[in-house]
Amino acid sequence: MERPPNLHRVSTPLDVHSAQARAAQLDALTDALTLRVLSSLAMDAEAGETTAGVAAALSISSDEAERRVAVLLDCELAITSPTNPKAFQPSSDAWTRYRRLFAPGTARPAVTKTPVVDWDGYPRVIRRMADQLARRYRTTFSTETTERYVAETYDELKGSSTGHQHVPMLVNRLVADRLAEVATMHMFPLVEVPEVLFVCVGNSGRSQIAYAALVAMAGDRVNVRSAGTRPSPTVDAMVTSALAEVGLVPGGAPKELQDSMVEMADYIVTMGCGDACPILPGRRYLDWDVTDPVGLTIDGVRQVRDHVLELVTGLVAEIDSARSHGLG
Residue 312: its pLDDT value, please? 94
- Residue 205, CA atoms < 13 Å, CB-side half-sphere: 25
Predicted confidence at residue 236, as pLDDT, reads 94
Cα–Cα distance, 137 to 167 (Å, whole number): 21
Closest C-alpha to 146, from 192, 102, 99: 192
Residue 325 confidence (pLDDT): 58
pLDDT at 327: 52
Question: 50: Cβ–Cβ under 8 A, 6 or more apart, which residues?
Answer: 84, 86, 87, 88
State the pairing for strand pair 84-90/49-50: antiparallel
In tens, the pLDDT along 168-214 reads: 777 877 888 788 777 766 666 666 788 899 999 999 999 999 999 99
pTM for the whole structure: 0.52
Asked if residues 211 and 224 have their Cβ atoms less than 8 Å apart, the reply is yes
Which CA distances in Å does 20 have to 16, 17, 320? 6, 5, 18
- Strands of the sheet containing 223-228, edge to edge, are 223-228, 195-200, 267-270, 284-287
Task: Enumerate domains of the chain plus CATH numbers.
Answer: 16-103 (1.10.10.10), 124-185 (1.10.8.1060), 195-324 (3.40.50.2300)
- Separation CA 112–CA 103 (nearest Å): 18
Residue 228 CB contacts under 8 Å (≥ 6 apart), including other chains: 199, 200, 201, 202, 203, 204, 207, 254, 255, 256, 257, 273
Residue among 77, 219, 213, 210 at smallest CA distance from 138: 219
In this prediction, residue 11 carries a pLDDT of: 46
Number of neighbouring beta carbons within 10 Å of residue 152: 15
- The pLDDT, as a whole number, for residue 288 is 94
Residues in the chain, pLDDT under 50: 1-11, 105-112
Name the DSSP letter for residue 2: P
